[in-house]
Amino acid sequence: MDLNTLWFILIAVLYIGYFVLEGFDFGVGILMPFLAKDDRRRRMIINTIGPHWDGNEVWLLTAGGATFAAFPGWYASLFSGFYLPLFLILIALIFRGVAFEFRSKDENPRWRSFWDWAIFAGSLVPALLWGVAFANFVRGVPIDAAQNYVGGFWNLLNPFALLGGLVSLLGFILHGAIFLTLKTEGELADKARKAAWRVWPFSLAVLVAYTAAAYFATDILTKLGINPGPVPIGAVLALAAAGWFIRQKMDGWAFVMTAITVVFSMATIFMSLFPRVMVSSLGADLSLTVYNTASSPYTLTVMSIVALIFVPVVLIYQGWSYWVFRKRVTTKTELEY
């Protein structure tokens, strides 16, 4: 395996980690206004992700930084090409992050409802747009010989990509609802489970539809074959199983299943891309690949050493932080947010 492939895998892992972790906190943010009408319960919901959302978001920053370092051509084309969607994601993430911190620091109900909206919209917009973006990677977008994206904003909102957006949106809502069943108790946990049960069929339906559509909209058929193998099938099966576990109130297993769904469906996208990183719709030889966008072998070597040392360290202490805050948030918990 060459270093380009290693870095492709590493960046895939960073994005997957980001979606597994921030995925549920997006879901929690979207569900918050629906699951709780009173202030106390809203605060409890926000406090379930309070210690974690910021650390989760760093997975995105690291994925972005790693893309810049390892594949500057990919970073440049993607970020300049998807300029307006990224701008919307940034605005959403800005409002959302500040909202967590600011919301409960003032009693005024209008202040709180403003930031509640910010948490809701700031979670919804990226949850939708990330799915749109990744669907476009595999579907292909107009990229010219200079590696520049030459389509417009509306190009990105094609039906296949919008379906991808629905997949990520509903998937994250489901993932977040199940997370809430694990981190709250009593009536609130029941409401979250009920929400999960209601969202689940839609989430499964769009994932199946998206997978089917992928056979027409992308070259997944030639890449992965008519039988796409265990990873994509596993994604769909895990999501199907999640429903069963929700019904049985086996919330822990349900959460494992939605996490597997996120991991496997993202892995499918990266597998069908490789060795490309963005497919060009203007010609197969114009696609961006791990070779025509990469940094020098020297840089990749340096970065590999850094990553090998520090990624495990990060995993250990971030894992520890989840252990520290493993308890459910109850009505008696002292709330920081």
Interface positions, 230-289, toward other proteins (CB under 8 A) = 251-252
184: phi > 0 → left, psi -120 to 50 → alpha, else beta; which? Answer: beta
**Residue 307: CB minimum distance to other proteins, A:** 7
DSSP label at 115?
H
- Position 198 contacts other proteins (CB under 8 A): no
Residue from 36, 78, 163, 169 touching other proteins (CB under 8 A): that is: 78
Binder among 98, 231, 233, 241 for other proteins (CB under 8 A):
98
- Across the strands, what pairs with 143? 149
83 lines the binding site for other proteins (CB under 8 A): yes
Q: Which of 90, 145, 205, 221 binds other proteins (CB under 8 A)?
A: 90
Options 40, 105, 247, 249; binder of other proteins; rule CB under 8 A: 105
Q: Which of 86, 162, 237, 241 binds other proteins (CB under 8 A)?
A: 86
DSSP string, 144-203: -TTS-B-S-TGGGG-HHHHHHHHHHHHHHHHHHHHHHHHH--HHHHHHHHHHHHHHHHHH
State which of residues 113, 292, 304, 318 lies at the interface with other proteins (CB under 8 A).
318
Instruction: List the interface residues with other proteins, window 131-190 (CB under 8 A).
Output: 146-150, 182-183, 185
39 binds other proteins (CB under 8 A): no
271: its two tokens: 């597998």
How many CB atoms lie under 10 A from the CB of residue 78? 24
Three-class SS state of 249: coil
* Count of beta carbons in the 10 Å neighbourhood of residue 259: 21
5 binds other proteins (CB under 8 A): no
Under the binding rule (CB under 8 A), the answer on residue 33 touching other proteins is: no
Of positions 9, 58, 240, 241, contacts other proteins by CB under 8 A: 58
State the DSSP string of 42-65.
Answer: HHHHHHHHTTTHHHHHHHHHHHHH
Q: How far is the CB of 259 from other proteins (least distance, A)?
A: 14
Q: Are 180 and 31 in contact (CB under 8 A)?
A: yes
Q: Is there binding between residue 290 and other proteins (CB under 8 A)?
A: no
Q: How far is the CB of 313 from other proteins (least distance, A)?
A: 9
For helices 251-273 and 186-217, give the axis angle rounded to 10 degrees: 20
Size of site (CB under 8 A) for other proteins: 79
Q: Which of 75, 130, 264, 270 binds other proteins (CB under 8 A)?
A: 75
The binder of other proteins chosen from 27, 29, 64, 131 (CB under 8 A)? 64
Residue type, 309: I
